[in-house]
C-alpha cells in the first residue's frame, strides 16, 4: 500500500465562492482567457482557506498557476488532497534544489536545429506550435523551456519547415508546445496545409491536454481542418487520473474519433496522484470507455521544482507488475523513461 503524502499547504474549509457549474463558460477562447491565475483564487473557488503559506506563493512565482474553469469543476471541493488539485496547486517545495533535478532534464536545447523545432528521434520531428498551455501542470518537464526563443512567426515557420522538406526520412510531424491546440484554428490550419504539402510526411501527431481541460476546444472549426487533412491523424492526450474524464471529455473524444483521429493517452506516474494500482486500473478502464488507448506511463522527468512527485523505479515496476495482474493487455500502458541522447523511449 502506498502512503499518500499530505499536501504541504494550509487549506481549511471556508465558505466557497459561487459554484463553477453555475457560471457560463463561454467558447473555448474565452475559457482559455478566463483561467484561474492565482493560488488564493484557486483556494477560494474550492472552499479552501486562502491563508496561504508563503510556500504556495513561492511555487507560483516560479511557475504560475493556470487552471481552466472546466477543469476546476472536476476538483472535489474542500479537499486539499484531491488528485486533480495536486496537479495544479503550487507547493513551497518547488523552490528547493534537489540533486539530479534540473531545468532541462531531456536536454532538448541540444536538439533544436531551428527555432520551434525539436528533432530527437529518427523518423519524426516535433514542432513547438504554441508557447502556452491552458493549464500549468506542476510536474511539467518543460516548465523552464525557453518558449520566447521558440515561437516563430508564420514567416519564420517557412524556414523551420524547410528542415522537414529537406529530410525525407521524417515521416511524422508532431505538434507540441506548450499546447498546440492553444493556437487559433486559422494558424493551425495554415501550418497543417504546409505540412501536408511535404510529400514524404505521412502522419500528423498532436500532443495536447486541451480536449481534457477545456473539452469545448473540440469544436466545428477544429474538426474542419483536422478532418480534412490527407495526413493520418493521431492525438496523444495527457490524462493522469480517471476523475479528469467527465462526460464533456467523453463527448469531445467521440467527435475526434468520428473525424478519423486515433486517440492515445500518456500519463505521468505521480506521487500522491496516481501511484497506486486501484487508481491506475481505474484510469485505464475509464480511458478505454472514452475511446482512448492507454499508451505510455512515464516516470517523472527530473525537472527542477517537481521532485516531490517522484516515484522510484523499483516502486514503479512493482506497480505496473501488479497492474498487469488486473488488466487485459490492451489496457496496459508501457512504463517508460525518456533518456537524453537515446533514440527512443526507454522501457523500464
Ligand atoms: S499541458 Fe503539457 S506542456 Fe502544458 S504544462 Fe501541462 S504537461 Fe506541460
pLDDT on residue 245: 98
Evaluate if residue 110 carries a pLDDT over 80: no
Rounded Cα–Cα distance for residues 284 and 327 (Å): 8
Protein residue with least CA distance to atom 3, ligand 1: 178
pLDDT on residue 338: 87
pLDDT bucket at 2, cuts 50 / 70 / 90: very low
Which of 136, 146, 265 to probe ligand 1 with, by most ligand atoms within 8 A of CB? 136
Sign, CA torsion 136/262/250/282: negative
Q: Provide the greatest CA pair distance for the chain.
A: 60
| Lowest-confidence region among 97-106, 180-189, 261-270, 305-314 | 97-106
Phi, psi of 29 (to 5 degrees): -70, -35
**Rounded to the nearest whole angstrom, what is the distance from the C-alpha of residue 138 to the centroid of ligand 1?**
8
Mean pLDDT of 128-156: 83
pLDDT on residue 267: 98
Over the stretch 275-332, which tens digit does the pLDDT of each residue have? 999 999 999 999 999 999 999 999 999 999 999 999 999 999 999 999 999 999 999 9
What ligand 1 atom has the least distance to the C-alpha of 142?
Answer: 8
Higher pLDDT, 106 or 236: 236
Phi, psi of 171 (to 5 degrees): -105, -15
Evaluate if residue 142 carries a pLDDT over 70: yes
**Rounded to the nearest whole angstrom, what is the distance from the C-alpha of residue 325 to the centroid of ligand 1?**
31
pLDDT on residue 344: 80
pLDDT on residue 155: 78
Mean pLDDT of 231-249: 98
Over the stretch 257-268, which tens digit does the pLDDT of each residue have? 999 999 999 999
* % of the chain residues with pLDDT over 90: 71
pLDDT on residue 323: 98
Rounded Cα–Cα distance for residues 204 and 184 (Å): 17
Write the DSSP string, 281-338.
HHHHHHHHHTT-EEEEEEPPP-BTT-GGG---HHHHHHHHHHHHTTS-GGGPPEEEE-
Protein residue with least CA distance to atom 8, ligand 1: 140
Rounded Cα–Cα distance for residues 322 and 270 (Å): 17
pLDDT on residue 114: 84
Higher pLDDT, 344 or 79: 79
Closest CA to 279 of 311, 249, 240: 240
State whether the beta carbon of 298 lies less than 6 angstroms from ligand 1.
Answer: no
Determine which helix (DSSP H) or strand (DSSP E) holds 194, and give its type and residue range: helix 185-196
Peptide bond into 178 cis (omega under 30): yes
pLDDT bucket at 34, cuts 50 / 70 / 90: very high
Which of 60, 118, 142, 207 to probe ligand 1 with, by most ligand atoms within 8 A of CB? 142
CB burial class (10 A; 0-12, 13-18, 19+) of residue 138? buried
**Rounded to the nearest whole angstrom, what is the distance from the C-alpha of residue 312 to the centroid of ligand 1?**
22
pLDDT on residue 314: 97
State whether the beta carbon of 133 lies less than 6 angstroms from ligand 1.
Answer: yes
State whether the beta carbon of 66 lies less than 6 angstroms from ligand 1.
Answer: no
pLDDT on residue 24: 67
Which of 126, 138, 177, 306 to probe ligand 1 with, by most ligand atoms within 8 A of CB? 177
Determine which helix (DSSP H) or strand (DSSP E) holds 71, and give its type and residue range: helix 69-72
Rounded Cα–Cα distance for residues 25 and 32 (Å): 10
Amino acid at each position: 500500500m502506498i502512503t499518500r503524502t499530505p499536501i504541504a499547504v494550509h487549506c481549511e474549509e471556508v465558505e466557497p465562492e459561487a459554484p463553477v457549474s453555475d457560471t457560463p463558460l463561454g467558447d473555448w477562447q474565452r475559457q482559455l482567457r478566463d483561467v484561474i491565475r492565482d493560488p488564493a483564487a484557486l483556494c477560494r473557488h474550492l472552499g479552501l482557506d486562502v491563508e496561504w503559506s508563503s510556500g504556495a506563493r513561492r511555487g507560483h512565482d516560479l511557475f504560475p498557476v493556470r487552471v481552466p474553469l472546466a477543469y476546476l469543476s472536476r476538483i472535489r471541493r474542500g479537499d486539499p488532497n484531491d488528485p486533480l488539485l495536486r496537479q495544479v496547486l503550487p507547493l513551497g517545495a518547488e523552490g528547493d534544489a534537489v540533486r539530479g533535478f534540473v531545468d532541462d532534464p531531456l536536454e532538448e536545447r541540444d536538439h533544436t536545429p531551428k527555432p520551434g523545432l525539436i528533432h530527437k528521434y529518427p523518423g519524426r520531428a516535433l514542432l513547438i506550435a504554441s508557447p502556452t498551455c491552458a493549464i500549468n501542470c506542476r510536474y511539467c518537464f518543460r516548465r523552464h523551456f525557453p518558449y520566447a526563443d521558440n515561437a516563430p512567426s508564420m514567416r519564420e515557420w517557412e524556414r523551420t519547415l524547410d528542415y522537414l522538406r529537406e529530410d525525407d526520412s521524417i515521416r511524422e510531424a508532431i505538434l507540441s508546445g506548450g499546447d498546440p491546440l492553444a493556437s487559433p484554428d486559422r494558424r493551425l490550419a495554415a501550418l497543417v496545409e504546409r505540412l501536408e504539402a511535404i510529400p514524404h510526411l505521412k502522419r500528423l501527431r498532436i500532443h495536447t491536454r486541451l480536449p481534457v481541460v477545456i473539452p469545448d476546444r473540440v469544436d466545428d472549426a477544429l474538426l474542419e481542418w483536422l478532418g480534412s487533412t490527407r495526413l493520418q491523424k493521431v492525438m496523444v492526450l495527457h490524462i493522469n487520473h480517471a476523475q479528469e474524464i467527465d462526460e464533456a471529455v467523453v463527448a469531445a473524444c467521440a467527435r475526434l474519433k468520428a473525424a478519423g483521429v486515433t486517440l492515445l493517452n500518456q500519463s505521468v506516474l505521480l506521487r500522491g496522484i496516481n501511484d497506486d494500482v486501484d487508481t491506475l486500473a481505474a484510469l485505464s478502464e475509464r480511458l478505454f470507455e472514452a475511446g482512448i488507448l492507454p499508451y505510455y506511463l512515464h516516470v517523472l522527468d527530473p525537472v527542477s521544482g517537481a521532485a516531490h512527485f517522484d516515484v522510484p523505479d523499483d516502486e514503479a515496476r512493482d506497480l505496473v507488475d501488479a497492474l498487469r495482474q488486473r488488466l487485459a493487455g490492451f489496457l496496459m500502458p508501457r512504463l517508460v523513461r525518456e533518456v537524453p541522447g537515446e533514440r527512443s523511449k526507454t522501457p523500464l
